[in-house]
Amino acid sequence: MGARIKSYVLLGVLSILLVYLGRFFGPNGVVVAFILAVVLNWVSYFFGDKLVLAMTSARPISEEEYPQLHNIIAELSVASGLPTPKLYLIPSGSPNAFATGRDPQHASVAVTRGILELLDEQELKGVLAHEMSHIKNRDILLATIAATIASAITMLANMLRWTTVFGNRDSERGSNVFSLIAILVMSILIPIAAAFIQLAISRNREFLADETGARICRNPFSLASALRKLAHGVARQPMNAVNPSTSHLFIVNPFSAKSLLTLFSTHPPIEERIRRLENMAV
């Protein structure tokens, strides 16, 4: 419950930043910012999963190809009380997985060829339970909303910066150099703050998905063991071809499981995730 509340509070702060930035564009600025956010959310909500699957070159996999994988996902669907998601295979040797879709009725889970080769059945079950928990907790929708609001903030900030420097300004504002500097500074700092909040939401949901996934598969050690293997696997073979905008969807950072700057990472430290999972079994 604490993790959910924290996520919604951060999302609320992100929305406040959007509204605050919109007011710099005049009386109708907030309305424009709101409409922009709604349009972006609508596109992401209905077409985001298709775009992500296409960007990762994922293809549907049948039960005849991978019967064990289908059996595991069917078992986890019953355990979680969710509809069975569609399964996709990403033709990459780097071990990873992600879930996408606007709701449990339109969800998909994609796994790489590398993760199927690396993990045993129990570890794979832990990973798929983690992805099912993202679907169960509606993390996909929350991440989409956070990403689109952050994108709207960035676009508005860029517009504000260029308008302030080159646009037509009223005499009062034009004569006040300090006001101009303040607006320029805000147009730079607000998108940075929005990016940090978006990353915080993503990291927070990963902890929640680990906990929920461990409860679904009833074995926190299997997920902890899988994360440990994935960390080494991604370090050896990162998914360099992946679009950075999709990195937050994967169970571990597809570029590097260990980030040099945790503050800027879309994922919490692997060691901390493993520690929390192992403490669940104590």
pLDDT in tens, 206-250: 998 999 999 999 999 999 999 999 999 999 999 887 777 677 789
pLDDT tens for each residue of 87-115: 999 999 999 999 988 789 999 999 999 99
131 is catalytic: yes
Residue 243 CB contacts under 8 Å (≥ 6 apart), including other chains:
55
Which tens digit of pLDDT belongs to each residue from 152-204?
A: 777 777 777 777 766 654 544 444 676 677 777 777 877 777 777 777 777 88
Quick one: what percent of the chain has pLDDT higher than 70?
A: 82
Instruction: Please enumerate, as own/partner, the contacts of 249-254 that have beta carbons within 8 Å and a separation of 24 or more.
Output: 249/52, 249/98, 249/99, 249/100, 249/140, 249/143, 250/96, 250/97, 250/98, 251/96, 251/97, 251/98, 251/127, 251/130, 251/131, 251/227, 252/96, 252/227, 254/94, 254/96
Look at residues 127, 163, 161, 157 and name the one whose alpha carbon lies nearest to residue 250: 127
DSSP alpha helix (H) spans, the chain: 2-22, 29-55, 67-80, 113-118, 121-136, 139-166, 171-174, 177-217, 220-236, 270-280
Q: How far is 43 from 48, CA to CA, in rounded Å?
A: 7
Neighbours of 195 (CB within 10 A): 14
Task: Identify the residue whose tokens are 């009223």.
Answer: 170
- Cβ-based neighbour number of residue 212 at 10 Å: 19
* Six-digit token string for 127: 């990973």
Q: Domains of the chain: which residue ranges?
A: 2-280
Residue of 63, 117, 131, 271 with catalytic role? 131
